[in-house]
Amino acid sequence: MIMDSLQFGADRLAAEKPDILTGLPPNFNSGTIAGDSIMKKIYLATPYSHPMQNIKCDRFNEVNVVAGSLMRQGFLVFSPISHTHPIIEAGDLPKGWKFWREYDLTFIEWADEIFVLKQDGWEESVGVTAEIKLAKKLNKPVKYLSPAEFEELNP
C-alpha cells in the first residue's frame, strides 16, 4: 500500500515535466497565499497515531497532497508525517510522540509558521497538541486548515 502511494506520487511528478528555463513544474505558482511571502518555512502538523493502519495511511496520503500543493505554491514545507512515515515503516521505529518529540521540535524551531491540517483526531492528538503549544511558546503563527477548506482555497 505504501509503495503504491509513493509510486502514484512519483508518476504524478514525472507527468509534470519541468520548464526548461526555470526547472519548475508547469503548474508551479510563484505567487503567494493570502499575502504570505514565497519560501516561507512551514511545519505542517497533522495527527498520525491510530490503532488502525489504514487510518494512518489515509492521514499520510492526505497530508502529502496538501504538502505538495504548498510546495508548488513556493513554500518550504516540513511535514513530519510525510517525511517519517516511510522511515517508520521501513525501519520498524516507534510511532509515538515520545520517540519523535525532539525530532519534531527541532523542525518547529526551524519553521516560520505552523499549519495544522485538521484531520479527524487532530484535537486529541498528543503530538499535534504539543506542537501547537511549542509553536505558541516560540511566538510562531499557527494556522488551522481543514482538508475541505484547503481544497476550496487551493483548487
Question: Is residue 33, in this structure, part of any structural domain at all?
Answer: no
Q: The sheet that has 142-145: what strands, in order across it?
A: 76-78, 41-45, 113-117, 142-145
Question: Is residue 56, in this structure, part of any structural domain at all?
Answer: yes
The model carries a pTM of 0.70
Q: Which grid cell is 27?
A: 503548474
Question: Is residue 96, in this structure, part of any structural domain at all?
Answer: yes
Determine the pLDDT at residue 32: 47
Are residues 74 and 55 in contact, defined by beta-carbon separation less than 8 angstroms?
no
Question: pLDDT, tens digit, for every residue of 99-127?
Answer: 878 888 899 999 999 999 999 889 998 88
Question: pLDDT, tens digit, for every residue of 23-81?
Answer: 455 555 444 444 444 589 999 999 887 888 888 888 888 899 899 888 888 899 999 88
CATH assignment of the domain containing 109: 3.40.50.10400
Question: Is residue 27, in this structure, part of any structural domain at all?
Answer: no
Q: Between 7 and 90, where is the model more confident? A: 90
Question: Is residue 18, in this structure, part of any structural domain at all?
Answer: no
CB atoms within 10 A of CB 47: 24
